[in-house]
């Protein structure tokens, strides 16, 4: 059962020529967390606003919990859609304490017990009398989430909820927000331009570009089998190299790396011009490796050494980014031998 269904939804803002969202179709299963991921201006927030009812689509239909809330004949206003929103700046009422922020607009008989229930869910029991200015960023975000969940919404929409948090807290809150949403059994859509947030929190990632859905899949599918160059480069680091599918269809011939075995996620024909996406972790430094490259530059990050090596073959040069164990000592100009592991080598469309 889908809690959220978008069918060929489009939206063009007044005074603009290009649609912000073009023919977008999306199904979100009940209880799952999906992230709309993409660069600035790709239409993520517009999609969220269309679902919430803050914007009106000019085509297509939107259903929440099986009921149409927007199509050419139907318009359900935002307050009747059963949507809980968490904004980037949390949008808490500064003059209300935590209890009243969470219970704001909630008029059911169980107000007190419901507020206490969600306070417990977000680990803020004992904070009910504090005001937003007396809370840390992470605590404010928990209050915003508790407020969104209090009314038992059909779906929770979160617009860049981690962007105001510092790096450490961001990592903690990813785990915490996921736990809270899962415990509440909520169906949620996140909007993010941060691939790490998306990989960590989502059951499904929908990658967008220029108002169009480029690829949708689990974090593993998206990372391992990117369908095109944009997705490969946007999610994680990737080396993109041109090549041609071999006659048996099992590998790709490249000028610089020779024949490379790949994970084929898409049907490719022998002789087809493609690209391969090689994740840096697939390039393994190995004294017995059958390929070699010269270290062009490197950066020590603590967890790894990010090294760019130049491979020269048949008069062609290509730079590859690889990860080297941080205990290793490498020098610029040094020749290192390596091998390629096929795990994170994927064939992507050459477009």
Ligand X SMILES: Nc1ncnc2c1ncn2[C@@H]1O[C@H](COP(=O)(O)OP(=O)(O)OP(=O)(O)O)[C@@H](O)[C@H]1O
**227 phi/psi in degrees, rounded to 5:** -85, -25
Smallest distance from ligand X to CB 17, Å: 11
Sheet holding 291-300, edge to edge: 283-285, 335-340, 291-300, 305-313, 316-324
The site map against ligand X for 40-59 (x = CB under 6 A) is xxxxxxx-------------
The site map against ligand X for 139-178 (x = CB under 6 A) is ----------------------------------------
Stretch that binds ligand X, among 13-21, 72-80, 142-150, 233-241 (CB under 6 A): 13-21
Stretch that binds ligand X, among 34-42, 121-129, 176-184, 216-224 (CB under 6 A): 34-42
Q: Among residues 132, 134, 147, 164, which one has the least CA distance to residue 84?
A: 147
Nearer to ligand X, 44 or 142 (CB): 44
Binding ligand X (rule: CB under 6 A), the pick from 1, 16, 17, 329 is 16
Smallest distance from ligand X to CB 128, Å: 33
Q: Is 13 in the site for ligand X (CB under 6 A)?
A: yes
Q: Which of residues 175-194 bind ligand X (CB under 6 A)?
A: 193
Q: Among residues 32, 114, 23, 28, which one has the least CA distance to residue 60?
A: 23
Stretch that binds ligand X, among 36-44, 163-171, 265-273, 290-298 (CB under 6 A): 36-44
Smallest distance from ligand X to CB 161, Å: 13
Smallest distance from ligand X to CB 207, Å: 11
Smallest distance from ligand X to CB 87, Å: 12
Asked whether 254 and 260 are in contact (CB, 8 A), the reply is yes
Nearer to ligand X, 43 or 280 (CB): 43
Site residues for ligand X per CB under 6 A: 13, 16, 20, 38, 40-46, 193
């Amino acid at each position: 059962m889908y809690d959220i269904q978008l069918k060929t939804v489009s939206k063009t803002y007044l005074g603009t020529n290009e649609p912000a969202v073009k023919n977008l179709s999306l199904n979100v299963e009940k209880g799952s967390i999906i992230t709309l991921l993409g660069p600035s201006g790709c239409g993520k927030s517009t999609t969220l606003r269309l679902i919430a009812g803050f914007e009106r689509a000019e085509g297509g239909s939107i259903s929440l919990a099986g009921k149409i809330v927007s199509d050419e004949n139907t318009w359900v206003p935002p307050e009747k859609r059963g949507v809980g929103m968490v904004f980037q700046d949390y949008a808490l009422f500064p003059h209300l304490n935590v209890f009243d922020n969470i219970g704001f607009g909630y008029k059911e008989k169980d107000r007190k017990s419901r507020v206490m229930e969600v306070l417990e869910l977000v680990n803020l029991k004992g904070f009910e009398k504090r005001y937003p200015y007396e809370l840390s960023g992470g605590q404010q975000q928990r209050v915003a989430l508790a407020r969104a969940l209090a009314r038992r919404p059909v779906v929770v929409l979160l617009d860049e909820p981690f962007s105001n948090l510092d790096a450490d807290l961001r990592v903690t809150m990813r785990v915490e927000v996921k736990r809270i949403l899962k415990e509440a059994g909520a169906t949620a859509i996140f909007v993010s331009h941060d691939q790490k947030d998306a990989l960590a929190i989502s059951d499904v990632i929908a990658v967008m570009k220029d108002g169009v859905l480029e690829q949708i899949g689990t974090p593993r599918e998206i990372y391992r089998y990117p369908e095109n160059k944009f997705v490969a480069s946007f999610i994680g680091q990737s080396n993109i190299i041109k090549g041609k599918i071999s006659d048996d269809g099992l590998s790709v011939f490249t000028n610089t790396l020779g024949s490379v075995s790949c994970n084929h996620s898409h049907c490719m024909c022998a002789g087809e011009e493609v690209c391969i996406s090689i994740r840096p972790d697939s390039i393994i430094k190995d004294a017995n490796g059958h390929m070699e490259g010269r270290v062009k530059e490197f950066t020590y990050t603590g967890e790894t050494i990010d090294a760019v090596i130049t491979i020269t073959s048949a008069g062609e040069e290509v730079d590859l980014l690889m990860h080297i164990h941080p205990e290793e000592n490498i020098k610029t100009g040094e020749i290192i031998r390596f091998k390629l592991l096929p795990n994170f080598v994927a064939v992507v469309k050459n477009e």
